[in-house]
Amino acid sequence: MTPAAAFDPALCPRLVVKIGSALLVDSAGAVRSDWLAGVVADIAERRSQGQQIVLVSSGAIALGARRLGLERGGRASLEDAQAAAAVGQVALAGVWEQLLAARGMTAAQVLLTLGDLEDRRRYLNVAATIARLLDLGAVPVLNENDTVATAEIRFGDNDRLAARAAQAAGATGVILLSDVDGLYTANPASDASATRIPVVKALTPEVMAMATGETRSGMGSGGMAAKLLAARMAGAAGIALAICDGRIDRPLTHFANNAGGTLFLPPRAAKGRKAWLAGRITVAGTIMVDAGAAAALRRGASLLAAGVCGVDGRFRRGDVLAIIGPDGELLARGLAGYDADDAATIMGLRNEAHAAVLGYAPRAALVHADHLVLI
């Protein structure tokens, strides 16, 4: 199977397409209108085949920086980025409205912050809004609300926003249009022996090490490392993700008709609350587990205190936790069954010993399997 086959409209009824700043805006900060018109033509063709499309569009800061005359593409400071975004979002929305309308489609702008998708209730509101827009035939155009986002409360790149939005949208696929045509064994710009990997079945430490954090243009905030994190987020929720070349005309059609790109296969399927957990970026605390507990979690068991060897953070019952395996890698996320102090008190103890040290009848699991998802 070619990487593109997973995103055929017959197999992928709802698709998220992410477009980076370096593709949408040229080096002078102007919209690449002809190229973007080709993307819209691709979208119209896929919609005619029954596929619903959600767009994640970068470019607001770059557009605003040009209009305000800001240096470094509007990224010299947080204040510059916020000001550029405020101006650029107006311009960006206008570009999408005009181009989509020319093909008989209605654009709908949805600006999101990290909290909109990290908070469960707000996440469900976003999901409902996107679903209704799609039912009405509109094309949702999503972007991070950089006007109000700060370093502490932002996604930081639209690759991860695309993966997270795909979960909220109920999509089965994400395509990241990029200035590279997939994941390579090394950086192809500096290593002539680098080869493209068509399909990635598991995001092992070796695969993650192939990424670099730089962007070619210096205009965006992502890079291959961000794309791999996005693939992990999407895959944990059962969503396929591809990186493909967006530099050519009609990039979605080119991807469908040629054997390029890299497909990241989802290792498992997760729905509802577990999909939301899988895509969390922020957590309230961390639980470290031993090899036996890690193996049990992979078999679908709950996390018992006996297998816990470390507790970090000031979390409360119901907060989202990261569960770290003995190799130091993120293993799972789950909802805490205990406050941090009680979790630290019972870690390493078997269940029958909990009541004596806690002074109350304990729960069976520190994190129950129903509220836990492997990453």
pLDDT at site 216: 46
CA dihedral sign, ordered 6, 11, 16, 22: positive
Strand order of the β-sheet with 173-178 is 106-112, 138-144, 52-57, 14-19, 173-178, 240-245, 262-264, 199-200
Q: How confident is the model at residue 205 (pLDDT cuts 50, 70, 90)?
A: confident
Query: Average pLDDT in the 206-215 region?
Result: 72
Report the C-alpha gap between 286 and 288 in whole angstroms: 7
In this structure, are residues 175 and 244 in contact, taking their beta carbons and an 8 Å threshold?
yes
Mean pLDDT of the chain: 89
**C-alpha closest to that of 281 among 110, 111, 115:** 115
- In angstroms, how far is CA 21 from the centroid of its own chain? 17
Q: What is the dihedral of CA 13, 182, 38, 49, to 10 degrees?
A: -20
pLDDT at site 156: 65
| Token pair listed for 39 | 């993307």
In this structure, are residues 328 and 359 in contact, taking their beta carbons and an 8 Å threshold?
no
Q: How confident is the model at residue 143 (pLDDT cuts 50, 70, 90)?
A: very high
Q: How confident is the model at residue 203 (pLDDT cuts 50, 70, 90)?
A: confident
Residue 6's φ and ψ, nearest 5 degrees, are: -65, -15
Q: How confident is the model at residue 182 (pLDDT cuts 50, 70, 90)?
A: very high
pLDDT at site 345: 94
pLDDT at site 374: 87
Report the C-alpha gap between 153 and 365 in whole angstroms: 31
Answer whether residue 179 shows pLDDT above 50. yes
Question: Counting every residue, how long is the chain?
Answer: 375
Residue with tokens 């992502």: 222
Query: Average pLDDT in the 106-129 region?
Result: 91
One-letter identity of residue 6: A
Answer whether residue 329 shows pLDDT above 90. no
Q: What is the dihedral of CA 220, 22, 75, 223, to 10 degrees?
A: 20
pLDDT tens per residue across span 249-261: 999 999 999 878 9
In this structure, are residues 215 and 222 in contact, taking their beta carbons and an 8 Å threshold?
yes
pLDDT at site 184: 92
Answer whether residue 221 shows pLDDT above 60. no
Strand order of the β-sheet with 330-335 is 308-313, 285-289, 320-324, 330-335, 372-374
In this structure, are residues 5 and 262 in contact, taking their beta carbons and an 8 Å threshold?
no
Neighbour count for residue 198 (Cβ, 10 Å): 15
Report the C-alpha gap between 41 and 47 in whole angstroms: 10
- CA distances from residue 207 to 74, 126, 179 in whole angstroms, order as listed: 33, 32, 19
Query: Average pLDDT in the 30-55 region?
Result: 96
Answer whether residue 214 shows pLDDT above 60. no
305-324 b/e with 16+ CB inside 10 Å = b? bbbbeebebebeeebbbbbb
pLDDT at site 33: 93
Q: Among 12-21, 69-78, 147-156, which is the least confidently predicted range?
A: 147-156
- Higher-scoring residue by pLDDT: 325, 214: 325
pLDDT at site 307: 95
Name the percent of the chain lying above pLDDT 70. Answer: 93
Residue 6, C-beta contacts closer than 8 angstroms, at least 6 positions apart: 12, 173, 240, 242, 263, 265
Report the C-alpha gap between 190 and 177 in whole angstroms: 21
pLDDT at site 150: 64
Any bridge partners for residue 10, and if so which? Answer: none
Query: Average pLDDT in the 264-277 region?
Result: 78
- In angstroms, how far is CA 131 from the centroid of its own chain? 18
Report the C-alpha gap between 188 and 153 in whole angstroms: 33
Report the C-alpha gap between 189 and 215 in whole angstroms: 12
Residue with tokens 């990487």: 3
**C-alpha closest to that of 210 among 268, 264, 151:** 264
Q: Among 19-28, 156-165, 262-271, which is the least confidently predicted range?
A: 262-271
Answer whether residue 222 shows pLDDT above 60. no
pLDDT tens per residue across span 330-361: 899 999 999 999 999 999 999 898 989 998 87
Write the secondary structure of 334-367 as one string of H (helix), E (strand) and C (coil).
EECCCCHHHHHHHCCCCHHHHHHHHCCCCCCCCE
pLDDT at site 217: 40
